[in-house]
Chain A
């Protein structure tokens, strides 16, 4: 068994582009679900909007890259408003239903045959990340700490931009959640009517949380598109949203570092288990499964791990046990 390969792949996944994408998606969910108690099950839709905004602007219409970024952020705000206006006055479950449907609508629209000239159908779009990589300050070559970590210069550029975005988003949220604004959000999570009776416009705060979470999610979409230099509609299925929730709960909801550490750990473990099993099968240490079955089994193990986590440590890694154990009435 090649332990160096196993560790190297795991560590690279833990700090790689997947970790960034899921961290941003989960940070957005943290604002909505962790702090405000809004069940947004359509985070994949916000990522799709971000990814496709860049791809369509540059690849289909030949417009500048930064215009695509601007359009992506603007569309994420519009989508949040569109979802929030009819549903945020209703009970929490309505938002969950509407968001999961909206995310699927986004995915089905961009993969539709009728609009394939614009969105590229099921094949998606390519050739839009040129001007992003033209800005790459890293000269060609290998970077990292051999033999464990090694990235090429393009990956380094994506990782730099990505982790800066994660840090910025986290810092803004850290400041916001310490402020009276954050206090109102946490109070809304506990009891909306109490907050209303204290003279706060609950609808407006919930809308702000939905918009901010959606915008952070769309930034995850930017990294998704740029790290692959391609977008495909089926990458933005509901799985993405549920993995992002897993990441959030693993790290600890309503904690600033929760989604970041959750995402890193999630990908590290997923790849460690996957590569480890593959290597074990290849070297003959495990004989009762084939390499093709490893992918499914590792997801089963992740599911088992998540169940154990929810039973024995429901507050996640960073959560406060006191907050969880109190019976909220």
Chain B
């Protein structure tokens, strides 16, 4: 592969992962997120049981796994939308367990949802403005005096219009978000998350329900986040997309991280194949075993015929 033809962010990420052991919980050179022993139980079911996992800064990491592997539940633990039963995790070295969802977002770890949460009865631009952090006018008393927040609001609007243009939503600026198509809502949700200038963007199934024509544009935006210095962690089912954009893949099954590795090789990992298709589903019979089974069957037939 020609390193010089790659964008800088991609090259840096690939370099960081070069020669890394493809083992669950492998240490990364510069982790932004470090997770230890996170457990979440629903009654008798252990939905998440992650021993150790690290997310490399500046990379695009995919989190894959069969249905019910606990990917979204794991996301919810990390972002404070659900309380983990055990475990701790640090973001930029700060402990994040027990931190409420809004504080997690303020620290620079912003998520999107599997089912898009565009705020339908707000216009697109209002959706965007809402994403900005530390707004003076979001205090009731300061909000009553427009002079105190107008200036900041204008800056926020400029930033929002800039992002809308990048995401090709500028034509929809004053439409209600509820009038957008499914794919446009995904774009809006992603753009809105970026209003807070996050360091780590966590996307829960960004491609679910998106028109194929929009897929390429969405992929481009995700790749671009890395070039802008952000770290991306995403849950996805579409393996083509995973192969296309991710630098590193973490595989979950039954709540545990069972494998990690580069996207090209991780899918052929035996543990991953087992997780998706069941253990020994295609283990070939050895020649001796085949012989033995044949003899057994013949002996059975002989026995029946002689009786």
Interface residues of A (CB under 8 A from B): 172, 175-176, 178-184, 186-187, 189-191, 193-202, 208, 212, 322-323, 326-329
Contacts and interface: CB of A to CB of B under 8 A. Distances in A.
Nearest to A327: B178
B84 interface: no
B120 A183 contact: no
B120 A178 contact: no
Given A180-B143, A187-B119, A199 B176 contact: no
A201 B144 CA distance: 19
Instruction: Report which residue of B130, B133, B136, B196 has the largest number of chain A beta carbons within 10 angstroms of its beta carbon.
Output: B130
A327 B131 CA distance: 22
Given A208-B140, A322-B176, A327-B178, A183 B122 contact: yes
A172 B117 contact: no
9 contacts: A179-B144, A183-B122, A193-B117, A194-B118, A198-B131, A200-B130, A212-B140, A326-B121, A326-B179
Given A190-B119, A199-B105, A322-B176, A182 B143 contact: yes
B210 to A, nearest CB: 16
Given A176-B140, A193-B101, A196-B100, 13 more contacts: A175-B143, A176-B144, A179-B144, A184-B130, A190-B121, A194-B118, A196-B81, A197-B79, A199-B102, A199-B106, A202-B102, A326-B176, A328-B121
A144 B65 CA distance: 76
A113 B105 CA distance: 53
Interface string B123-146: 000100111010111111011111
Nearest to B202: A197
Contacts of B113: 193-194, 197
Contacts of B153: 180
B193 interface: yes
Contacts of A176: 140, 143-144
B85 to A, nearest CB: 19
Contacts of B196: 198-199
Interface of B: 79, 81, 100-103, 105-106, 110-113, 115, 117-122, 126, 129-131, 133, 135-140, 142-146, 149, 153, 176, 178-179, 192-193, 195-196
A102 B135 CA distance: 35
Contacts of A327: 120, 178
Given A197-B101, A198-B131, A323-B121, A181 B139 contact: yes
Contacts of A190: 119-122
B119 A194 contact: yes
B107 to A, nearest CB: 9
A38 to B, nearest CB: 16
Nearest to A172: B144
Contacts of B149: 179-180
B228 to A, nearest CB: 19
A326 B120 contact: yes
Contacts of A179: 137-138, 142-144, 146, 149
B180 to A, nearest CB: 10
Given A187-B122, A195-B130, A181 B111 contact: no
A114 to B, nearest CB: 39
Nearest to B198: A199
B102 A200 contact: yes
Instruction: Report which residue of A176, A198, A322 has the largest number of chain B beta carbons within 10 angstroms of its beta carbon.
Output: A198
A91 to B, nearest CB: 15
B102 A196 contact: yes
A187 B123 CA distance: 11
B119 A200 contact: no
Contacts of A183: 122, 126, 129-130, 138
A178 to B, nearest CB: 7
B292 to A, nearest CB: 59
Contacts of A175: 143-146
Contacts of A323: 121, 176
B110 A198 contact: yes
Closest 8 CB pairs of A and B: A179-B143, A326-B178, A194-B117, A180-B137, A181-B143, A199-B105, A190-B119, A199-B106
Contacts of B195: 198
B188 to A, nearest CB: 11
Contacts of B101: 193, 196-197
Given A179-B146, A187-B122, A191-B117, A197 B110 contact: yes
B137 A181 contact: yes
Contacts of A187: 119, 122, 130
B230 to A, nearest CB: 16
Instruction: Report which residue of B105, B115, B129, B146 has the largest number of chain A beta carbons within 10 angstroms of its beta carbon.
Output: B105
Nearest to A177: B143
A245 B193 CA distance: 36
Contacts of A322: 176
A4 to B, nearest CB: 45
Instruction: Report which residue of A181, A183, A194, A199 has the largest number of chain B beta carbons within 10 angstroms of its beta carbon.
Output: A199
Nearest to A171: B144
A193 B81 contact: yes
Contacts of A186: 119, 121-122
Given A186-B122, A199-B133, A178 B146 contact: yes
Contacts of A199: 102-103, 105-106, 110, 133, 196
A195 to B, nearest CB: 7
Contacts of B102: 196, 198-202
A322 B121 CA distance: 8
A179 B145 CA distance: 9
A197 B111 contact: yes
